[in-house]
Each structure stands twice: as structure tokens, then as C-alpha cells.
Amino acid sequence: MKEDRLVWKKENDGDYSVWSAYKLCMQELLDVSHFKVSGSWDIIWRLKMPPRVKNFILRIYGNCIPTRRRL
């Protein structure tokens, strides 16, 4: 006979994590469509360079760099 235990249905192993709760909120509870920017960003993440350079490239293409014109 198996023991009863709490099961978090949003994970394959049934274990709760803060990350899985965050994913649930972002996917089902909040409208995040305005945060999405079109493009194939996976190519940038596969490049062999430091993460801060990748982050900078993403900010440039996402038009998120605070410049005098944007401010």
C-alpha cells in the first residue's frame, strides 16, 4: 500500500517548485503577450560568447537600450 502525498500536477514528477508556479502564473494567469518580441532569439543564445554580450545584443534588437532619443 502506497502512502498518500501531495502532488503538483504542473510537473511531471509531481513535486512543487517556485519555478513551476512562476511558469503557471506567466502562462495561464497573466497576459504577457505585450512582452513578446518577434524574431528567432534561439540563434543568439546558441552563440559562443559571454552571457552579458548576448544580453546586450538582445537589448539592442528588442529596442530596450536607454538612449537619449528614447528617454
What are the tens digits of pLDDT across the range 2-32? 787 777 777 777 788 888 888 877 777 777 6
13: left (phi > 0), else alpha (psi -120 to 50), else beta? alpha
Which pLDDT does position 59 carry in this prediction? 82
Q: Could you report the per-residue pLDDT of 19-70, keeping only the tens digit for each?
A: 888 887 777 777 767 767 677 777 887 889 998 998 888 888 777 777 777 6
Contact 70, 64 (CB under 8 A): no
Q: Report which DSSP code applies to 71.
A: -
Which pLDDT does position 32 carry in this prediction? 67
User: pTM here?
Assistant: 0.41
Rounded to whole angstroms, how far apart are CA atoms 47 and 24?
29
